[in-house]
Amino acid sequence: MKGEVKLGILGGGQLGRMLMQAGLDFNLYTLVLDPDENAPCKDICHEFYVGSFRDYETVYEFGKNCDILTIEIEHVNADALEKLEQEGVKVYPDAKTVRTIQDKGLQKEFYRQHNIPTSDFIVLKDKEELQQQQLNFLPAFQKLRREGYDGRGVTRLSSEADIEKAFEEPSVLEKLVDFEKEISVIVARNANGEVTAFPVVELSFHPEHNLVDSLFAPANVPYKLQRHAIEIATRVIEAFDMVGILAVEMFQTKDGQILVNEVAPRPHNSGHHTIKANYTSQYEQHLRAILNLPLGATDIQSAAVMLNLLGEPGYDGEAAYEGMQEALAVPGVYIHLYGKKYTRPARKMGHITVLGKDIEEAQARAEQIKNVIKVKA
């Protein structure tokens, strides 16, 4: 390995920031593209470009200066990725995988084609088609095919009365799953084809914002189902034939099935705790994968609870953090702020990892500090 590899990252948010934080240990030279001039990556990369990662020309011009190009968000211009691949840039994940994943319709069809268990669905071109087909499917979630993110672009249609609030745009209608738990497995694959999986984690979603609220690792899920979930996640990354990490969100159903909900081909909120709790973090694992280095051990060092730190409702403006003294006084509590200057309600401003010798200890400590740290303006 020569001294310095030029790594480009599409997106300059917290995921990119934590990726670069890990990248320091590998002497990487980092370039970042983000539309926000105050993006969290701005001051800590070597070269920062303000521009849209959705725009063909912008992505192409940015990417052609990189040895390796990766993403921290999947809503990027896949045509530009394809062009860069043809010109010899190592693009991880590749254009084909990104194109499939960024369209929830193609993503669901991909699972069906590859015999990957997933909830029943139909792809809809508009609201009219929804009105024709709804009856077999309600209750269901309607998800926009494109641009859904952190709970945006998703709506629950419980009965005919909800059709009114349905999306007009092309969407996927997914039959509601009667699940016991939502879980996630992060898998990684390098160019040599080596695959590793992180242990299963259990997710808890915010009732309103529909984004991960907290996470428990290890998950309280029967061993056999954990093995099954890891096996499915491994099949998914191999089916995509992709390089990098892939977060596979799944349902553990009440009747003991594991169904894939959706995937993200990048570091993911459900892997933040690995920075503190596992031998290798998801960020280092992604770097090892895209640098084609041997993947790291994913063993748990400590049990962990991860809490997202969201902007407090009612505050909009320059962020200020309350309760740090109180929270950090509890053993095992670690804060990760994302360097975002401005807060707004439910904006992801940071996360807290709570370690313990076992999950009970971590949970008891998490209970003590839950709602103690508040992000106000």
Helix (H, G, I), strand (E, B) or coil at 235: helix
Strand blocks (E) in 131-243: 140-144, 154-157, 171-175, 179-189, 195-197, 201-205, 212-217
Q: How far apart are CA 162 and CA 158, in angstroms?
A: 6
Q: Residue from 293, 346, 364, 372 that binds its own copies (CB under 8 A)?
A: 293
Is residue 17 a contact point for its own copies (CB under 8 A)?
yes
One-letter amino acid for residue 169 of the chain = E
Q: Tell me the per-residue interface mask from 64 to 83 with its own copies, x by CB under 8 A, - otherwise.
A: --------------------
Is residue 289 a contact point for its own copies (CB under 8 A)?
no
Q: Residue from 139, 222, 294, 345 that binds its own copies (CB under 8 A)?
A: 294
Q: How far apart are CA 106 and CA 13, in angstroms?
A: 26
| Residue 345 Cβ vs its own copies, minimum distance, rounded to whole Å | 17
| Token representation of residue 5 | 């590899």
Rg (C-alpha) for the chain, rounded Å, is 20
Burial label for 376, CB within 10 Å (0-12, 13-18, 19+), is: middle
Paired with 156 in beta bridges are 141
Is residue 104 annotated as involved in ligand binding?
yes
| Residue 144 Cβ vs its own copies, minimum distance, rounded to whole Å | 33
Is residue 175 annotated as involved in ligand binding?
yes
Is residue 254 annotated as involved in ligand binding?
no
- Judged by CB under 8 A, the stretch of 53-61, 207-215, 231-239, 294-302 that binds its own copies is 294-302
Is residue 329 a contact point for its own copies (CB under 8 A)?
yes
| Token representation of residue 24 | 């320091």
Shorter beta-carbon distance to its own copies: residue 56 or 334: 334
One-letter amino acid for residue 337 of the chain = L
| Residue 201 Cβ vs its own copies, minimum distance, rounded to whole Å | 18
| Token representation of residue 283 | 């960020």
Is residue 318 a contact point for its own copies (CB under 8 A)?
yes
DSSP assignment letter at 51 = S
| Residue 226 Cβ vs its own copies, minimum distance, rounded to whole Å | 20
Which residues line the annotated binding site for ATP?
A: 104, 143, 174-177, 182, 261-262
Q: Which residues bind its own copies (CB under 8 A)?
A: 1-3, 17, 21, 24-27, 43-44, 46, 276, 279-280, 284, 288, 293-294, 296-297, 301-302, 318-321, 324-325, 328-329, 331-332, 334-339, 341, 355
